[in-house]
Amino acid sequence: MNMTEVMKARHSVRQYIDKPLSKDVISALQKEIDACNKESGLNIQLVINEPKAFDGFMAHYGKFSGVTNYIAMIGEKNASLDEKCGYYGERLVLLAQQLGLNTCWVAMTYSKIKTAFEVRRGEKLCVVIALGYGKTQGVMHKSKKVEDVVKAEGALPEWFKKGVEAALLAPTAMNQQKFLFSLKDNRVSVKAGHGFYTKMDLGIVKYHFEIGAGNNGWKWNQ
Ligand SMILES: Cc1cc2nc3c(=O)[nH]c(=O)nc-3n(C[C@H](O)[C@H](O)[C@H](O)COP(=O)(O)O)c2cc1C
């Protein structure tokens, strides 16, 4: 599967079967988490065989079942933390998809089990990513169109359109897709709209855009 196919195949899955992650899968995830932590300075942690976070009222209300593994997105509190968690978390989500797993970003509908991970002084747990073998593969979300999320004049270059199409495949909190891309002289800007978790969504969407647009001589404007 190429990365576009991986992005298309990924959907949020909230119900999982009772099948443990193999040693190989765990080590592949851990290797990528280590790489993300090194690159970003985040303190992302893999939590395995921990059923309590998704066993409370909120999780059942949120229709989660069988979740015993998740990634805790933790980092130093600062203005860029949410966006960083989005960007590196989505890198891990797409790796998990390639490894045959299913995932769901979860900001609200879980309980924080403090003994399951370590939050150092000055750090914060932003969000978790549930993962495991889904009962189903999920379904494609309803999506805005390219023209709804782009502010541009004239024809769009193919690489830019592909980037925005990839961004529209990305998960966003409550499927809000509140972002706006623009292009000037091969410089791409993307701004988050107002709402919950839109900065985290921005990081996720930027990761997708980079994959979709490929290396075609463009740069981020910020
Ligand atoms: C930052 C973020 C937070 C989310 N929080 C929750 C949550 O608390 N509970 C939940 O059930 N889904 C949550 N989701 C999943 C979204 O509802 C889902 O990604 C969106 O509806 C799009 O569907 P898709 O992921 O299948 O493409 C979250 C997604 C993101 C990106």
User: How does DSSP assign the chain, residue by residue?
Assistant: --HHHHHHH--B--BB-S-PPPHHHHHHHHHHHHHHHHHH----EEE-S--GGGSSHHHHHTT-BS---EEEEEEE-STTHHHHHHHHHHHHHHHHHHTT-EEEEESSSS---GGGS---TTEEEEEEEEEE-BSS---PPP---GGGSEE-SSPPPHHHHHHHHHHHTS--GGG---EEEEEETTEEEEEE-SSTTHHHHHHHHHHHHHHHH-SSS-EE--
- Identify the pLDDT of residue 222: 66
Cα 61 to ligand 1 centroid, rounded to whole Å: 14
Rounded Cα gap, residues 55 and 66, in angstroms? 9
pLDDT band at 36 (very low <50, low <70, confident <90, very high): very high
81-95 pLDDT per residue, tens: 999 999 999 999 999
pLDDT at 3 over 90: yes
195-214 pLDDT per residue, tens: 999 999 999 999 999 999 99
Q: Can you give the residue ranges of every domain in the chain?
A: 3-132, 146-215
- For ligand 1, whether the C-beta of 104 sits within 6 Å is yes
Residue with CA nearest ligand 1 atom 13:
106
Residue with CA nearest ligand 1 atom 12:
106
Cα 108 to ligand 1 centroid, rounded to whole Å: 9
Give the number of other CB atoms < 10 A from CB of residue 214. Answer: 13
Of 125, 104, 129, give the one whose Cα is nearest residue 32.
129
- Identify the pLDDT of residue 86: 98
For the residues 165-182, what does the mean pLDDT come to?
Answer: 98
Cα 120 to ligand 1 centroid, rounded to whole Å: 26
- For ligand 1, whether the C-beta of 197 sits within 6 Å is yes
**CATH number assigned to the domain with residue range 146-215, chosen from the 4 options 3.30.300.30, 1.10.760.10, 3.30.420.10, 3.40.109.30:** 3.40.109.30
Cα 13 to ligand 1 centroid, rounded to whole Å: 9
Which residue type does 117 have? F
Assess whether the region 3-132 and the region 146-215 belong to the same CATH fold: yes
Q: Report the percent of the chain where pLDDT is more than 70.
A: 100
Task: Report pTM.
Answer: 0.98
- Identify the pLDDT of residue 59: 80
Query: CA of 45: how far to CAs of 60, 153, 170, in Å?
Result: 24, 43, 22
**CATH number assigned to the domain with residue range 3-132, chosen from the 4 options 3.40.50.300, 3.30.930.10, 3.40.109.10, 3.30.750.24:** 3.40.109.10
Cα 92 to ligand 1 centroid, rounded to whole Å: 15
For the residues 142-156, what does the mean pLDDT come to?
Answer: 94
